[in-house]
Structure 1
Amino acid sequence: MRILYLLFPFFLLLVQGAAGSSRGPQNKAECLREKGYCGFLKCSFPFVIRGKCSRFFFCCKP
Structure 2
Amino acid sequence: MRILYLLFPLFLLLLHSAAGSSLAPTNKKQCLKENGYCGFLNCKYPFVIKGKCSRFFHCCKR
TM-score by length of 2: 0.69
The alignment's C-alpha RMSD in Å is 2.5
State which structure, 1 or 2, has the greater radius of gyration over its C-alpha atoms: 2
- Shift in Å at residue 22 of structure 1? 1.7
Work out whether 1:27 is the aligned partner of 2:34.
Answer: no
List alignment gaps of at least 5 residues for structure 2: 1-5
Deviates more, 1:46-55 or 1:17-26: 17-26
Q: Map 1:1-62 onto structure 2 (within 5 A).
A: 16-62=16-62
Distance verdict in 2 for CA 1:17–1:43, change over 3 Å: farther
- Shift in Å at residue 52 of structure 1? 0.4
3-state SS of paired residue (1:35) = coil
Deviates more, 1:36-45 or 1:13-22: 13-22
Larger helix fraction of residues: 1
List per-residue Cα deviations over 1:1-50 (Å, max 9, x = no partner): xxx8xxx7xxx877655433321101000000000000001001110001
Deviates more, 1:17-26 or 1:32-41: 17-26
Give aligned pairs, total: 60
Identity in percent: 68
List alignment gaps of at least 5 residues for structure 1: none
CA distance in 2, matches of 1:45, 1:37: 13
Distance verdict in 2 for CA 1:15–1:36, change over 3 Å: same
